[in-house]
Amino acid sequence: MNKSELIEAVAQKSNLTKKDTDACLSALVGIISGALSNGEKVQWTGFGSFELRQRAARKGVNPATGAQIDIPASNAPAFKPGKAFKDALNK
């Protein structure tokens, strides 16, 4: 499912216009991104939690040349599904 299919599905379920649904989903992503960039954890009871995890610097290999490269430390978003969400998927 891509973004436009998601917007259409949510619009149908919520009786909102596609334009309003797109604005709502874009706002949700923006709020979650902003919270994570501020070091906050976003918890959604029954669905899961989003947090920022730090990845250490490491060595890598350029697949085109085989040369060893340094990969700098970075932050990566992570999602941990909640129990209710996992249970719904494993009926």
pLDDT score recorded for residue 91: 85
pLDDT score recorded for residue 15: 93
- For the chain, 91 residues long, give each residue's pLDDT as a single digit of tens: 999 999 999 999 999 999 999 999 999 999 999 999 999 999 999 999 999 999 999 999 999 999 999 999 999 999 999 999 999 999 8
Does this model's pTM top 0.75? My answer is: yes
Whose CA is closest to 71, among 82, 63, 79, 62?
Answer: 62
Please report, for the chain, the start and end positions of each structural domain, with discontinuous segments joined by +: 1-40, 51-83
Is 44 strand, coil or helix? strand
pLDDT score recorded for residue 34: 96
Cα angle: 42, vertex 8, 29; to 5 degrees:
20
